[in-house]
Chain A
Amino acid sequence: MILMILQNLQDTLSKILVVIEKILPAILWSMGIILAFVLPFGIFLKNILGALVSHFPGPGSGLNWIYFIVAGIFLALGIFLAVKYPERRIML
């Protein structure tokens, strides 16, 4: 009886180990990619954006409308291009 239980336990553990053996490299690789590429890239981008955003007009300045003008320009450009050139063209 005890031997049977131990045998079942061993079978279950070996099945779990097979799954872990398959999953573990994927987890380690993804962690490695995050540490090697994503984090340094993020810190790099954050530093660049930090330098740029500090020059943007804030809520205290009287230039808040610039954001809405930029948004309006992109919207108008999008509507114009979608209506004027609805099909894909080279360079458009």
Chain B
Amino acid sequence: MDTKTKNLLRGFGAALSNIITKILIPMYIFRSVLQDTTVMTLDLGYTKAKVDVILFWIVAMGSITASLSFTKAASPKYSTRKAVFDIISIFANAFYLYVYRFSGALDIAVALDLGGATGTFYLNFENMVYISMGVIGLNLIIGLYDFIISYAAPIEEEL
């Protein structure tokens, strides 16, 4: 198998895994949450309009991260372009994560109706975003370090 085909296959594999984990699985989860509210007595506060907004952001940012993961994975090892696309991909992933907060997916108002007793409580997962963003920030430092190495002291691949 020549290098071109290897690069393309690696890229398509990365893009496919990205599409499955970042678009299809969240889409399935949010759609199933919406369907379950009609069956269950537990109302999670996700209306159809809210889920449509969340799905729009997931598909929009997920498609960008998937195409960037293709470009990153299709680049040869230790190359400058891989480091550059890695940094852009980290930013895109940060945006992808942020749209969960922005679209209101992390605010959950649970209304319980258990026959005689009713109640409402609110769950807010926004603080989890801070920790994930911090991890993304640390990844950004590693990405910048890779870029500096590839630019200033390029590593020769073993032939």
Binding site for B on A (CB under 8 A): 34, 37-46, 49-50, 52-54, 58-59, 64, 67-68, 70-72, 74-75, 77-79, 81-83, 86-92
Question: How far apart sit A45 and B130, CA to CA, in the bound complex (Å)?
Answer: 8
Q: Are A42 and B95 neighbours in the complex by a CB distance under 8 Å?
A: no
Seed contacts A34-B134, A41-B138; 12 additional CB < 8 Å A-B pairs: A41-B134, A42-B134, A44-B137, A49-B95, A53-B98, A68-B63, A74-B71, A78-B71, A81-B74, A82-B7, A82-B74, A88-B76
Selected from A45, A70, A82, A87, the residue in CB contact (under 8 A) with B136 is: A45
Given the known inter-chain contacts A59-B56, A81-B71, A82-B7, please indicate yes or no for A53 contacting B95, CB distance below 8 A: yes
Please name the residue on chain B nearest to A76 by beta carbon: B67
Q: Are B137 and A41 neighbours in the complex by a CB distance under 8 Å?
A: yes
Q: How many A-B residue pairs have CB under 8 A?
A: 127
Binding site for A on B (CB under 8 A): 2-4, 6-8, 11, 15, 52-53, 56-57, 60-61, 63-64, 66-68, 70-72, 74-81, 85, 94-95, 98-99, 101-102, 129-138, 154, 157
Please name the residue on chain B nearest to A74 by beta carbon: B67
Query: Given the complex, which residues of A lie within 8 Å of B7, measured CB to CB?
Result: 82-83, 86
User: Shortest 7 CB-CB distances between A and B: which pairs?
Assistant: A38-B134, A78-B71, A42-B134, A42-B133, A42-B130, A67-B60, A41-B137
Chain A interface, >50% SS class:
helix
Given the known inter-chain contacts A50-B98, A88-B157, please indicate yes or no for A39 contacting B134, CB distance below 8 A: yes
Selected from A44, A74, A90, the residue in CB contact (under 8 A) with B154 is: A90
Q: Are A82 and B133 neighbours in the complex by a CB distance under 8 Å?
A: no
Can you identify 19 A-B contacts, CB atoms within 8 angstroms?
A: A37-B138, A38-B134, A38-B135, A41-B134, A41-B138, A42-B129, A42-B130, A42-B132, A42-B133, A49-B95, A50-B102, A75-B67, A78-B67, A79-B11, A81-B75, A86-B2, A88-B76, A88-B78, A89-B79
Query: Given the complex, which residues of B lie within 8 Å of A54, measured CB to CB?
Result: 102
Q: Are A46 and B130 neighbours in the complex by a CB distance under 8 Å?
A: yes
A8 to chain B, nearest CB (A): 42
Please name the residue on chain A nearest to B78 by beta carbon: A88
Q: Are A71 and B64 neighbours in the complex by a CB distance under 8 Å?
A: yes
Q: Are A81 and B94 neighbours in the complex by a CB distance under 8 Å?
A: no
